[in-house]
């Protein structure tokens, strides 16, 4: 059974999300938007998924491969523009052939997550965040491993390390290999993507923290999307490039022991004397060095 | 970036290199014995690895050259009723030397090469064949979320005696709690289970 | 940067940035402009495009200076949205009176 999946082109209401590449590949609860769709379509009986990518076809291809992950055949085709539903129908399935999934699953525009048409992803940053919080209970798909609902509304990755002195408030999601220090407060309405660190005394409420992101000690990410050093307030649409790494920064930049040590000194210089050594040990471990 | 995955890869490379070096006299001997018996020493089978990616898994050949032709006849004699896995006792297609290779799992030794090139890991769920994976439900596919391994938990607890749902359960348990320390523990227990294990047919 | 001392109010404006380059100078100038009759420091941030932790540190130093003198209000005027985000991120928006005019 065949189906057509149309990726979104860039959306003017959420310009900063393209920092992750084409919108179809934005990381959401540790997996990309398009991957949730393909798993959903495979469960509906699709054996062949044709993907139309008006933006970043190469990256979309890298994200889905050949579909072996779901046991379906996936092919990604680049397109100049994002086709409308009827255009796509005309171009790809004019005869409404029998080999296709029945409508409305024959042609899908990925403007929302599977089964959640009332939660548009790209109307605004606020709608993006609302759609994510809405998706939280569904992110743990049947083929998902390494995340458990530890308490109602609190999902924690099995390789995450959350200090017993940290406070988690439902609904919240702690991703794979995330480190949450003592005194941190995560939730309500908090999503921490894979490998990020929430330092001591930091707070994330009604906020999304992207992957590989350092949320510095005593900071507050509220009503905002934070990734690397970018901070977008989803209520006001204001976007800030945070100048100081010890406040908010990308962990992928800390690739060497020297960079980690410099970072540690910056933390100390800015008065952070809390569980400082644990944090630095954690950073060093990620770089692949023994604790200094 | 996943430093957990990085550390595993390092363990895999070091372990497989060490194993290949230490076992090289044995590997050469076994290869020579099979060739003397007639036919090629190494046999490549398509198996399914991480995220459904198919790869060539290497083993010492323990079956007659024309073994695949007998396959259809033998499917009827499948011991596990669930229709997904397939092993039968006293497989008549096995060669003389093949019987001993399998008894002590020496036929699996070339998989250290698969570990070295990154298809497999030292520890992980056993890699299924494509025919089996084609019947998987989404929940079964959880087994494919990590690299398959040369040894795994159900090898040290009871090997092929466990039915398919049991294998999936053990594999998922392993995947959920996978750690470097846990893997080293499994590696330490494996040689004994391989030599003395009851379900290795 | 322009500082005007109008009796009870010290008014600072035309601040293009508050970064490592000028924060110490800003802090010292404003602090020395304070007199016993000051009851209000108004910092016009409408033109301030960039601020970093040095700038925050300078504002915090002024906050401490006013806290030591009872009854002196520290007011930030018209910060641009990005600056407001930075204040919220560091939870410093609680320390100041933020006003839009």
A175 & A274 share domain: yes
Out of A118-122, A284-288, B69-73, B116-120, pick the least confident: B69-73
Q: Is the pLDDT of residue B82 over 80?
A: no
**Chain A residues close to C23, C-beta within 8 Å:** none
Is A133 inside any structural domain? Answer: no
A161 & A107 share domain: no
The tokens describing A161, both together, are 């390390």
Q: What confidence score (pLDDT) does residue B69 get?
A: 60
- Reported as type and span, the H/E element at residue C65 is helix C53-68
Tally Cβ neighbours within 10 Å of residue B47: 22
CB of C85 within 8 Å of any CB in chain A?
yes
Q: Is the pLDDT of residue B201 over 50?
A: no
A96 & A204 share domain: no
Q: What is the ipTM of this complex?
A: 0.91
**Chain A residues close to B54, C-beta within 8 Å:** 68
pLDDT, tens digit, 9 for 90 and up, residues B153-193: 656 665 556 788 888 888 898 899 888 888 888 888 777 66
More confidently predicted of B96 and B161: B96
Cα–Cα distances (Å) from A114 to A45, A123, B134, in that order, read 15, 17, 24
In degrees rounded to 5, what are phi and psi of residue A75? Answer: -130, 135
**Chain B residues close to A71, C-beta within 8 Å:** 52, 133-134, 136, 141
Tally Cβ neighbours within 10 Å of residue B105: 19
CB of A242 within 8 Å of any CB in chain C?
yes
Mean pLDDT of B16-23: 93
Q: Which domain holds residue A232?
A: 147-287
Q: What confidence score (pLDDT) does residue B132 get?
A: 92
A208 & A261 share domain: yes
Contact A238 C89 (CB under 8 A): no
Q: What confidence score (pLDDT) does residue C50 get?
A: 95
**Chain B residues close to A195, C-beta within 8 Å:** 1-2
Instruction: Give the contacts of A154 (CB within 8 A, at least 6 positions apart).
Output: A168, A169, A170, A171, A172, A174, A187
pLDDT band at B104 (very low <50, low <70, confident <90, very high): confident
Is A177 inside any structural domain? Answer: yes
**C–A touching, 3+ CB–CB pairs within 8 Å:** yes
Q: Which residues of C33-64 are buried (b: 16+ CB within 10 A; e: fewer)?
A: ebeeebebbbbbbeebebbbbbbbbbbbbbee
Is A63 inside any structural domain? Answer: yes
In degrees rounded to 5, what are phi and psi of residue A128? Answer: -60, -50
The 3 state secondary structure assigned to chain A is: CEEEEECCCCCCCCHHHHHHCCHHHCEECCEEHHHHHHHHHHHCCCCEEEEEECCCHHHHHHHHCCCHHHCCEEEEEECCCCCCHHHHHHHHCCCCCCCECCCCCCEEECCECCCCCCCECCCCHHHHHHHHHHHHHHCCCCCCCCEEEEECCEEEECCCEECCCCEECCCEEECCCCEECCCCEECCCEEECCCCEECCCCEEECEEECCCEEECCCCEEECEEEECCEEEECCCCCEEECCCCCCEEEHHHCCCHHHHHHHHHHHHHCCCCCCHHHHHHHHHHHHCCCCC
Give the Cα-Cα-Cα angle B43, B48, B50 (nearest 5 degrees): 130
Nearest CA in chain A to B146: A145
- Kindly list the domain boundaries of chain C, sorted by start residue: 2-99
pLDDT band at B200 (very low <50, low <70, confident <90, very high): very low
Is A240 inside any structural domain? Answer: yes
- Between chain A and chain B, the number of residue pairs with CB atoms below 8 A apart is 62
Question: Among A71, A211, A212, which would you mutate to test the B interface (most chain B Cβ atoms within 10 Å of its Cβ)?
Answer: A71
Q: What confidence score (pLDDT) does residue A290 get?
A: 42
Structural domains in chain A (count): 2
Contact B51 A288 (CB under 8 A): no
Chain A neighbors (3+ CB pairs < 8 Å): B, C
- pTM, entire model: 0.88
pLDDT band at B87 (very low <50, low <70, confident <90, very high): low
Contact C84 A244 (CB under 8 A): no
Mean pLDDT of B117-127: 93
Contact C52 A244 (CB under 8 A): yes
Chain B neighbors (3+ CB pairs < 8 Å): A
Residues of chain C with pLDDT under 50: none
Q: How far apart are CA A33 and CA A28, in angstroms?
A: 6
Name the minimum distance, in Å, from the CA of B99 to any CA of chain A: 34
CB of C32 within 8 Å of any CB in chain A?
no
Nearest CA in chain A to B138: A143
Which among A111, A137, A159 is the end of a domain?
Answer: A111
* Per-block mean pLDDT, blocks of 10 residues, chain A (292 long): 94 94 96 96 94 94 95 94 87 81 89 96 97 97 95 95 95 96 95 95 97 94 97 97 93 82 80 65 66 38
Q: How far apart are CA B16 and CA B18, in angstroms?
A: 5
Q: In what order do the strands lie in the sheet with A203-205?
A: A167-168, A185-186, A203-205, A220-222
A166 & A272 share domain: yes
Which among A111, A129, A156 is the end of a domain?
Answer: A111
Q: Using CB atoms, which residue from B51, B53, B176 is nearest to A158?
A: B176
Q: What confidence score (pLDDT) does residue A287 get?
A: 66
DSSP labels, chain B: --HHHHHHHHHHHHHHHHHHHHHHHHHHHHHHHHHHHSS-SEEEEEEE-GGG-EEEEEEE--B-TTGGGGHHHHHTT-SSTTSS----TT-TTB-HHHHHHHHTTGGGTTHHHHHHTTS-EEESPPPPPHHHHTT--TTGGGGGGS--EEE-HHHHHTGGGS-HHHHHHHHHHHHHT--HHHHHHHHHHHHHHHHH-S---
Tally Cβ neighbours within 10 Å of residue C14: 11
CB of C21 within 8 Å of any CB in chain A?
no
Q: What confidence score (pLDDT) does residue B14 get?
A: 95
For domain C2-99, give its CATH number from 3.10.20.30, 3.40.30.10, 3.40.640.10, 3.30.750.24: 3.30.750.24
> For chain C, what percent of residues have pLDDT higher than 70?
100
- Kindly list the domain boundaries of chain B, sorted by start residue: 3-195
Q: How far apart are CA B104 and CA B126, in angstroms?
A: 17
Q: What confidence score (pLDDT) does residue B62 get?
A: 84
pLDDT, tens digit, 9 for 90 and up, residues C55-68: 998 998 898 888 88
**Backbone dihedral region for residue A45 (phi beyond 0: left; psi -120 to 50: alpha; all else: beta):** left
């Amino acid at each position: 059974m065949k189906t057509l999946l149309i990726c979104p082109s860039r959306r003017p209401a959420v310009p900063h999300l393209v920092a992750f590449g084409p919108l179809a590949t934005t990381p959401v609860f540790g997996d990309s938007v398009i991957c949730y769709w393909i798993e959903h379509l495979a469960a509906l009986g699709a054996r062949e998924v044709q993907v139309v990518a008006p933006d970043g076809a190469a990256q979309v291809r890298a994200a889905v491969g050949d579909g072996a992950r779901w046991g379906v055949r996936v092919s990604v085709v680049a397109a100049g523009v994002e086709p409308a539903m009827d255009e796509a129908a005309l171009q790809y399935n004019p005869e409404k052939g029998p080999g296709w999934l029945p409508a409305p699953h024959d042609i899908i525009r990925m403007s929302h997550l599977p089964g959640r048409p009332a939660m548009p992803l790209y109307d605004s940053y606020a709608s993006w965040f609302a759609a994510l919080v809405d998706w939280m209970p569904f992110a743990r798909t049947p083929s998902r491993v390494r995340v458990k609902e530890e308490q109602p509304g609190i999902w924690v990755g099995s390789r995450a390390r959350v200090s017993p002195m940290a406070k988690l408030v439902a609904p919240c999601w702690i991703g794979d290999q995330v480190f949450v220090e003592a005194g941190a407060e995560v939730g309500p309405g908090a999503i921490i993507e894979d490998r990020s660190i929430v330092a001591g005394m930091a707070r994330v409420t009604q906020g999304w923290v992207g992957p590989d992101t350092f949320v510095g000690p005593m900071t507050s990410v509220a009503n905002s999307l934070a990734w690397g050093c970018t901070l977008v307030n989803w209520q006001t649409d204001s976007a800030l490039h945070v100048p100081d790494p010890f406040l908010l920064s990308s962990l992928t930049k800390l690739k060497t022991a020297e960079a980690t040590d410099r970072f540690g000194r910056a933390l100390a210089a800015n008065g952070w004397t809390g569980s400082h050594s644990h944090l630095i040990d954690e950073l060093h471990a990620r770089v692949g060095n023994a604790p200094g | 970036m996943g430093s957990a995955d990085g550390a595993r890869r390092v363990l895999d490379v070091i372990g497989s290199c060490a194993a290949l070096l230490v076992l090289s006299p044995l590997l050469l001997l076994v290869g020579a014995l099979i060739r003397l018996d007639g036919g090629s020493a190494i046999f490549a089978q398509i198996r399914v690895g991480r995220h459904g990616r198919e790869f060539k898994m290497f083993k010492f050949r323990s079956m007659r050259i024309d073994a695949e032709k007998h396959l259809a006849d033998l499917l009827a004699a499948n011991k596990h009723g669930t229709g997904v896995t397939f092993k039968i006792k006293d497989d008549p297609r096995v060669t003389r030397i093949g019987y001993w290779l399998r008894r002590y799992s020496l036929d699996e030794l070339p998989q250290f090469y698969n570990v070295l090139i990154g298809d497999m890991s030292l520890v992980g769920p056993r890699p299924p064949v494509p025919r089996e994976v084609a019947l998987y439900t989404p929940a079964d596919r959880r087994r494919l979320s990590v690299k398959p391994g040369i040894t795994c938990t159900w090898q040290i607890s009871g090997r092929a005696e466990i039915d398919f749902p049991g294998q999936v359960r053990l594999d998922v348990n392993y995947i959920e709690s996978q750690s470097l320390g846990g893997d080293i523990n499994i590696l330490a227990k494996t040689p004994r289970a391989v030599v003395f294990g009851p379900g290795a047919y | 940067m322009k500082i005007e001392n109008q009796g009870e109010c010290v008014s600072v404006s035309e601040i293009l940035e508050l970064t490592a380059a000028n924060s110490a100078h800003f802090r010292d100038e404003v602090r020395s402009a304070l007199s016993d009759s000051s009851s209000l420091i108004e910092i016009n941030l409408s033109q301030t495009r960039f601020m970093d932790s040095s700038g925050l540190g300078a504002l915090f130093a002024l906050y401490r200076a006013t806290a030591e003198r009872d009854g002196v209000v520290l007011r930030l005027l018209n910060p641009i949205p990005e600056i407001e985000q930075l204040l919220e991120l560091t939870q410093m928006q609680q320390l100041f009176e933020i006003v839009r005019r």
